[in-house]
Amino acid sequence: MKHQYFDAGGVPSAAHAFKRSAVVGIGSWGTALAATLAENGTSVRIWGRRADAIQDINTNHRNEAYVADAPLPQSLYAVHKMSDAVRDADVVLIVVPSSAIRSVSRQVSEYLAPGTPVAICAKGIEAETGLLMTQIAEEELPGHPVGCVSGPTFARETILRHPTAATVAFPFSPLHRISPETSPAVRLAVSLTTEHFRAYVSDDLVGVEIGGAVKNVIALACGMLTGAGFADNTRAALITRGLDEMKLLSNALGGRRETLTGLSGLGDLTLTCSSTTSRNMSLGLQLGRGIPREECFDGRPVVVEGEANAVSITDLARKLGVDMPICETVRAILHEGADLGQAFAALWARPIEAEPMAMDFAIAHPATDQDIATLAERIS
């Protein structure tokens, strides 16, 4: 399949979509990406462990276990053997929880043809090492181009063909800068782009990945204060200052600040902090209402990426000397026994700072201890 793209000079050129793709992960987002690729004419095999989901996809063209009432392309085929999915693929998308990226990447490496590009579609930072998801995959998949896909995307809306956009990021070699249509990023973007799904291309893996990881923690903060009874002013403040925390961490790791104002940064942050479709926002909302953690989601063991990443992100930030007060507040509440009301009241009582970093000063907050205690009581 050939598509047209326009380079910086406005000259159209052909970019070739991948013919055969593998999606590793049969959850909601893996299913959505596989459906988008299949809809665009790519041969897709999706791997998963759940026999019921595999049978549902192959027999009923649905995945009711993860994405209810969302029809899938009939050409999408699910398998339970990793080798059947990966062996002949031109590109592999790994779409599993961040905690499984290392083990799954190692498993994929056993069957992957030399030089096959791999896109990581999980968001987070590894707890033990502080590595980004693509850095983990690079360790486990030497010799393979590794990139990522990230953006403001809910799986069900994607499958239902709501207009959606995301970013595809891979390193760009000198050759790719001369002929971008040959790069894995452009080829995957072309493979994903349909009349309803629009992919953008980036070479800033650090910026794209930091946006995807940190937004989950900020969404927990937004959920907590929304659950405590606060509304739009509060959420807008957390989103804006959370974006600044993203930028600071990305910059410290060599990413570009402007990446964080794009789809994988501000876009994903806004979406995740504004809807209970996000598990991070939903968990925060329940905690803010006073529901004990073990009783959230009606007691079901729901994986919430921001919960673990509140620790891995702040551990990394501390090593780099980056101040991330919102993320630190979420960590304190979730993992260090801090009272939700007192922790957020202390966050709001931090010294007054300038927004332009160049001004670089802090002034003591005028609130008294009683003022802070009153706010803490309101939040609690």
Domains of the chain, start order = 2-203 (3.40.50.720), 215-379 (1.10.1040.10)
One of 2, 81, 123, 215 is an active-site residue; which one? Answer: 215
pLDDT reading at 129 higher than 80 = yes
- Average pLDDT rounded to a whole number, residues 176-198: 95
DSSP state of 88: T
- Report residue 207's pLDDT band, with 50, 70 and 90 as the boundaries: very high
- Bridge partners, 12 (sequence order): 6
Position 358 scores a pLDDT of 84
- Bridge partners, 77 (sequence order): 45
Per residue in 254-287, pLDDT (tens digit) is: 999 999 999 999 999 999 999 999 999 999 999 9
Of the candidates 121, 120, 125, the one whose C-alpha atom is nearest the C-alpha of residue 140 is: 120
pLDDT reading at 10 higher than 80 = no
Position 356 scores a pLDDT of 81
- Report residue 9's pLDDT band, with 50, 70 and 90 as the boundaries: low
In percent, the amount of the chain with pLDDT more than 70 equals 96
Q: Contacts for 235-238 with beta carbons within 8 Å, 24 or more apart?
A: 235/273, 235/274, 238/273, 238/326
Position 284 scores a pLDDT of 98
Position 2 scores a pLDDT of 43
pLDDT reading at 4 higher than 60 = no
In percent, the amount of the chain with pLDDT more than 90 equals 91
- Bridge partners, 5 (sequence order): 13
pLDDT reading at 8 higher than 90 = no
Per residue in 109-128, pLDDT (tens digit) is: 999 999 999 999 999 999 98
pTM for the model stands at 0.93
Beta strands at 164-169 and 146-150: parallel, antiparallel or unpaired: antiparallel
Position 357 scores a pLDDT of 80
Task: Please check whether residue 105 is in contact with residue 126, taking contact to mean a CB–CB distance below 8 angstroms.
Answer: no
Structure tokens given for 288: 């803010």
Per the annotation, the verdict on 215 as an active-site residue is: yes
- Average pLDDT rounded to a whole number, residues 280-306: 96
Q: Using the structure block, give the residue that is written with the tokens 């010799």.
A: 143
Position 1 scores a pLDDT of 45
pLDDT reading at 228 higher than 80 = yes
